[in-house]
Copies of this chain bind each other. A is one copy, B any other.
Amino acid sequence: MATRSDKAESRTRGSIRDALLDAASALMREQDKIDIGIVEIAARAGVNHGMIRYYFGDKEGMLAALLDRDVLRAIGQLDALFRLPVTPTERMRIHLEGIVDTYYRIPYLNRLIQYMVRDAEPERVRHIGDELLKKIAGAQARMIEEGIAAGEFHPVDPKLFYFNTIGAADGLYSNRLTLQVVFQGKPHADDDLHARYRQHTVETLLAGLVKNYQP
């Protein structure tokens, strides 16, 4: 029978790195917190925890890599979205559905950003601000400007819309114990509740943005 370290040795460099990021992500989702120990993360990935130092330098480096992976995927989707030949309202709808999907998949996202922006090295904070968050916020602001120019949107402040969006999208997934305690629900939103929450959230945000909005 193959031991865990045999298994690890048979992996390629990229797959061990990915396995560590997958393990960190899964544990943060399951335990509903950011602060997971490196020994536990390595054990989940089936590798020695020295691998974290080897691939990422330290735990903060691993969290930075995880945030990069999660957010760069979303930025890639935004680039594709701008190439779609749709109205500003439709583009915004697709964008907002994507944001709610992101928080369903990565419910720790805002907390990971808060954790990194508060505690990480200045160069990492600059990277997160300039290369990740400003890209998302800037793309959303560009969509809003297009919709205003086309006469479809009310003239809203993109900054206020951005914080409404990330707050409302996150509301269900970051308060999962409220769901359990107050509504006798499951501790996790399931696919059905997520689909209903996404529709409700996107309709609400569009109703506030689009002139004479009809669902």
Contacting residues, chain B, for A207 (C-beta < 8 A): 204, 207-208, 213
Chain B residues, Cβ within 8 Å of A133: 178, 181-182
- On chain B, the residues within 8 Å of A196 by CB distance are 157, 160
What is the chain B residue whose CB lies nearest that of A215? B154
Determine whether the beta carbon of B114 is less than 8 Å from that of A201: no
Known: A114-B174, A177-B114, A204-B208. A197 touches B32 (CB 8 A): no
Cβ contact within 8 Å between B137 and A183: yes
A156–B200 touching, CB < 8 Å: yes
Task: Give Cα distance in the complex from A117 to B183, angstroms.
Answer: 14
CB neighbours (8 Å) of A169 from chain B are 167
Could you give 9 example pairs across A and B, Cβ below 8 Å? Answer: A113-B178, A160-B172, A165-B171, A167-B169, A204-B204, A205-B208, A207-B207, A207-B208, A207-B213
Judge whether A32 and B118 touch: CB under 8 Å.
yes
Mask for A106-130, Cβ within 8 A of B = 1, else 0? 0000100110011000000100110
For residue A87, CB closer than 8 A to chain B, the reply is no
Q: Tell me if A22 counts as interface (CB < 8 A to partner B).
A: no
The smallest C-beta distance from A142 to any residue of chain B, in angstroms, reads 15
Number of interface residues of A (CB under 8 A): 48
Contact with B along A181-215 (1 / 0, CB 8 A): 11101000000000011001101110111000100
A161 at the binding interface (Cβ < 8 Å): yes
Instruction: Find chain B residues with CB under 8 A from A179 CB.
Output: 163
The 0/1 profile, CB within 8 Å of B marked 1, for residues 29-61 of chain A is 000110000000000000000000000000000
Interchain CA distance A211-B212 in the complex, whole Å? 11
Instruction: Give Cα distance in the complex from A183 to B113, angstroms.
Output: 15
User: How far, in Å, is A114 (CB) from chain B's closest CB?
Assistant: 6
Given A164-B171, A167-B171, A208-B208, 20 further pairs, Cβ under 8 A: A32-B118, A118-B177, A129-B182, A133-B181, A133-B182, A137-B182, A156-B200, A160-B196, A160-B197, A160-B201, A163-B178, A163-B179, A164-B168, A164-B201, A164-B204, A165-B171, A166-B171, A166-B178, A167-B174, A204-B209
